[in-house]
């Protein structure tokens, strides 16, 4: 049996935590799956699965093999996609991992990309910076939009896009309305409706400040941006969001965004490509579009737009 198939069985077992369910997921019988894993143990000379009547987890050696298996299966999928792309670079799927805070900016890149690669599908996955780094290393994404930091060694190319800033989102006419800036300390005085900290919308320092504020004020936590906006629109709650979200409220006269001061050294958000080979032509093209002077000028314009204005800059990207 090809070793890749055995590794797929191992990954399925880790995911399902049950021999029968793992076998069903792989469309084989349970004895076939169990025998394949036992054969893999013989070939590697190490016990992988803890012995018992039921699945009880992996041994220490098994955890190492599992990590390797996950990388290998991801690389196999990646290779298959690359071979398909090599035959026809005008089709396939481009996998992009991105910070939740960058979602409102994506049309700046996707619209011109679609003009060049009309048949290429985009799979865009919201991740935090750590998850993006892992996905880059595992080969499960082709492009990352994340914080640029000391982990740049994991990438073959990177380009800074903008510096992250944050704003207090309120209903017009409520407390702090019309002010030029608001201190972070003021958050402890307001009922808050927030995207869950640590989920890819906030940086580490901002998440720490927000978690402290949540211990002192009544709040709602959610994963839905529309719930945040709907509750802030009521005037009963305020929120904190990265500056790109102002694009989403630019057509809403009820909402107002007020700058919050930097919490330390501002984080730089950028686009990155993995070191893995073979290179993806659509990924390279997406990267070039993002780093183009036209895209960088558009980002600067969008992020500098007056809060609550009727800015239609994004609609000009055709």
pLDDT at 43: 87
Q: Which CATH architecture has domain 91-163+267-305?
A: 3-Layer(aba) Sandwich (3.40)
CB 260 within 8 A of CB 181: yes
| CATH code, residues 3-80 | 1.10.10.10
Please state which CATH class domain 166-259 belongs to. Answer: alpha beta
The pLDDT value given to residue 100: 84
Identify the band that residue 203 occupies on the pLDDT scale cut at 50, 70 and 90.
confident
- Per-residue model confidence (pLDDT) at position 308: 38
Residue found under tokens 């390797």? 68
What is the b/e burial string over 233-248, where b = at least 16 CB atoms within 10 angstroms of the residue's CB? beeebbbbbbbbbbbb
Please compute, for residue 269, the number of CA atoms within 13 A of its CA located in the half-sphere on the CB side. 29
Q: Is 1's pLDDT higher than 60?
A: no
pLDDT at 82 (0 to 100): 63
Give CA–CA dist 9/244, Å, rounded: 42
What is the pLDDT, as a whole number, of residue 148?
A: 87
- Answer for the pair 64, 166: CB distance below 8 angstroms, yes or no: no
Taking the domains of the chain in order of start, what are their residue ranges? 3-80, 91-163+267-305, 166-259
Asked whether this chain's domains 3-80 and 91-163+267-305 adopt the same fold, the reply is no
Q: What is the mean pLDDT of the chain?
A: 84
Q: Determine contact, residues 249/310, Cβ cutoff 8 Å.
A: no
Q: Where is pLDDT greater, at 21 or 200?
A: 21
pLDDT in tens, 73-124: 777 776 666 666 555 555 688 999 998 889 889 999 999 999 999 999 999 9
pLDDT in tens, 273-299: 988 766 788 999 999 999 999 999 999
Whole-angstrom Cα Rg for the chain: 23
pLDDT of residue 86: 54
Q: Classify residue 115 by burial, with Cβ atoms within 10 Å: 0-12, 13-18, 19+.
A: exposed
Does the global pTM surpass 0.95?
no
Strands 166-171 and 239-242: antiparallel
CA dist., res. 49 & res. 56, Å (int): 8
pLDDT tens across 208-263, in order? Answer: 899 999 999 999 999 888 899 899 999 999 999 988 877 777 778 899 999 999 88
Q: By mean pLDDT, which of 96-100, 198-202, 268-272 is the weakest?
A: 198-202
């Amino acid at each position: 049996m090809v070793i890749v198939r055995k590794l797929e069985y191992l990954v399925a077992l880790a995911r399902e935590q049950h021999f029968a369910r793992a076998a069903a997921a792989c469309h084989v019988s349970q004895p076939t799956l169990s025998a394949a894993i036992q054969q893999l143990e013989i070939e590697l000379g190490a016990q992988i699965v803890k012995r018992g009547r039921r699945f009880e987890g992996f041994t220490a050696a098994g955890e190492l093999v599992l990590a390797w298996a996950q990388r290998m299966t991801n690389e196999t999928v990646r290779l298959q996609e690359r071979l398909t792309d090599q035959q026809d670079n005008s089709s396939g799927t481009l996998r992009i991992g991105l910070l939740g805070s960058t979602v409102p900016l994506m049309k700046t890149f996707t619209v011109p990309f679609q003009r060049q690669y009309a048949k290429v599908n985009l799979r865009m996955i919201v991740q935090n910076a750590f998850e993006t780094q892992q996905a880059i290393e595992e080969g499960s994404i082709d492009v990352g939009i994340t914080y640029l930091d000391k982990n740049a060694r994991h990438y073959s190319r990177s380009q800074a896009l903008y510096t992250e800033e944050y704003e207090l989102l309120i209903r017009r006419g409520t407390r702090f309305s019309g002010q030029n800036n608001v201190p972070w300390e003021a958050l402890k005085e307001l009922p808050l409706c927030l995207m869950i900290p640590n989920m890819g919308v906030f940086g580490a320092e901002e998440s720490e400040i927000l978690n402290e504020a949540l211990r002192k004020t009544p709040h709602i936590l959610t994963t839905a941006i529309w719930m945040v906006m709907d509750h802030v629109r009521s005037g009963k709650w305020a929120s904190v969001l990265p500056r790109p979200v102002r694009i989403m409220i630019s057509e809403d006269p009820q909402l107002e965004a007020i700058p919050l001061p930097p919490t330390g050294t501002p984080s730089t958000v950028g686009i990155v490509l993995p070191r893995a080979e073979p290179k993806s032509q659509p990924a390279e093209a997406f990267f070039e579009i993002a780093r183009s002077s036209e895209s960088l000028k558009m980002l600067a314009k969008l992020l500098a737009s007056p809060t609550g204005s009727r800015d239609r800059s994004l609609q000009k990207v055709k």
